[in-house]
């Protein structure tokens, strides 16, 4: 199989697994203990904290380990909700469901800032929503289209009004430069399995000096900011993945080259293919495409049979297939949205796989357009991550 769903999840790097194995085998000590093996476990956690902090331009005491991006986003939004005064919450219309659903639970009205047709946040409309706002959340890069958002500009606008701001940077981490100081955010979420670490572990950056109250309470783990015995192997794996990606640098020329080769080959071989979202401001690994005359859910089934793993942007709503909320925010019509697929590369993909994948996608599209697909009916396709 050729895995082109890195925005959904990535395979662990061998070095990450090797770093975790000793703690999976022998690391049974509770890091809160006072004996030697517990102190070793505590040191491993602090080493990982330093690795993550260095990677994103933070200080170690600003990093809190969580179970992943969803918990991190929920924690940040709930903390701001409890501590800020009256006012609305301003989020973008294209946020991941972890932010959208968490915002619905806040004790305040929520306002959704629109995006331009290219998927980039409309900064003028965002600024117009800030008067009367008490908190904000703007994703760093969209999980579906890969479009990178003007986060630093949005954070500056919020900061000028004294409004705390969170960013879901789950998709940006490992694919583009990520520095919390340059971005100017107060909270930022990442998840290890998006950049070749293990599942079930993530981190929340909490700017030093910002008011904060924990969501999970009990013990005093994570400097009393997240109760519960730490996931030691996962934390070690997260730290190792962060250090490996930091060593690779922020150029990501191989990711971009493979993605561009894939797109160019498809566009050369097929008519009726549209690249969705900004091509100037997008992650180097992500290709979001619409295929005229095709239904994405059928195309995914054919590609799965052919050995290609990717994601569809359509979702099943009351038995009907419709574009995702991201596509709707960008103004996609029904056919364009229903024919959209996301292909997302990782550093483990090769040039040969990019070319092979383009040829397999071409063949699948032609089969659908000529009515020779021979596939069973399906109800919906769901984009994940």
Give the whole-angstrom CA distance, residue 269 versus residue 197. Answer: 36
Give the whole-angstrom CA distance, residue 361 versus residue 370. Answer: 14
Tokens of 236: 């070690």
Give the whole-angstrom CA distance, residue 42 versus residue 236. Answer: 11
Q: Which of 218, 241, 204, 237 is nearest to 32 (CA)?
A: 218
Instruction: Find out whether 285 and 255 touch, Cβ atoms under 8 Å.
Output: yes
Tokens of 55: 């990677």
Angle ∠(194,219,197) on CA atoms, nearest 5: 15
Q: Which of 308, 314, 298, 311 is nearest to 358 (CA)?
A: 308
Judge whether 310 counts as a catalytic residue.
no
Give the whole-angstrom CA distance, residue 162 versus residue 134. Answer: 8
- Kindly provide the b/e burial profile for residues 123-148, where b requires at least 16 CB atoms within 10 angstroms of the residue's own CB: bebbbebbeebbbbbbbbbbbbbbbb
Paired strand residues for 5: 344
Q: At CB < 8 A and 24+ separation, what contacts does 115-118 make?
A: 115/329, 115/330, 116/330, 117/330, 117/331, 118/147, 118/277, 118/278, 118/281, 118/330
Tell me the catalytic residues. 316
């Amino acid at each position: 199989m050729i895995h082109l769903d890195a925005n959904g999840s990535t395979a662990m790097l061998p070095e990450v697994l090797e770093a975790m194995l000793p703690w999976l085998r022998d690391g049974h000590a509770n890091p809160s203990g006072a004996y030697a093996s517990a102190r070793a476990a505590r040191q491993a956690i602090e080493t990982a904290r330093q690795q993550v902090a260095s990677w994103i331009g933070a200080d170690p005491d600003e990093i809190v380990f969580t179970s992943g991006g969803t918990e991190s986003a929920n924690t940040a939004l709930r903390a701001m909700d409890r501590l800020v005064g009256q006012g609305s919450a301003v989020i973008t219309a294209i946020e991941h469901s972890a932010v959208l659903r968490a915002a619905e639970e806040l004790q305040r009205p929520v306002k959704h800032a629109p995006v331009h047709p290219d998927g980039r946040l409309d900064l003028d409309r965002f600024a117009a929503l800030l008067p009367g706002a008490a908190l904000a959340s703007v994703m760093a890069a969209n999980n579906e289209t890969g479009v990178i958002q003007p986060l630093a500009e949005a954070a500056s606008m919020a900061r000028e009004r004294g409004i705390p701001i969170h960013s879901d940077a789950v998709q940006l981490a490992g694919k583009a430069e990520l520095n919390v100081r340059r971005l100017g955010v107060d909270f930022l979420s990442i998840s290890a399995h998006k950049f070749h670490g293990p599942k079930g572990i993530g981190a929340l950056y909490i700017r030093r000096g910002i008011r904060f109250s924990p969501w999970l309470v009990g013990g005093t783990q994570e400097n009393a900011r997240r109760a519960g015995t730490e996931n030691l192997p996962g934390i070690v794996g997260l730290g190792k993945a962060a250090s490996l990606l930091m060593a690779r640098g922020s150029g990501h020329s191989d990711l971009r080259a493979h993605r561009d080769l894939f797109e160019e080959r498809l566009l050369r071989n097929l008519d009726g293919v549209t690249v969705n979202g900004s091509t100037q401001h997008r992650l180097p690994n992500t290709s979001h495409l619409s295929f005229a005359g095709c239904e994405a859910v059928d195309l995914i089934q054919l590609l799965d049979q052919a050995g290609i793993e990717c994601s569809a942007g359509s979702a099943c709503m009351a038995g009907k297939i419709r574009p995702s909320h991201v596509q709707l925010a960008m103004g996609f019509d029904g056919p364009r949205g229903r024919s959209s697929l996301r292909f997302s590369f990782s550093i483990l993909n090769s040039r040969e796989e990019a070319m092979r994948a383009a040829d397999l996608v071409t063949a699948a599209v032609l089969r659908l357009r000529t009515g020779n697909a021979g596939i069973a009916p399906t109800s919906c396709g769901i984009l994940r991550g």
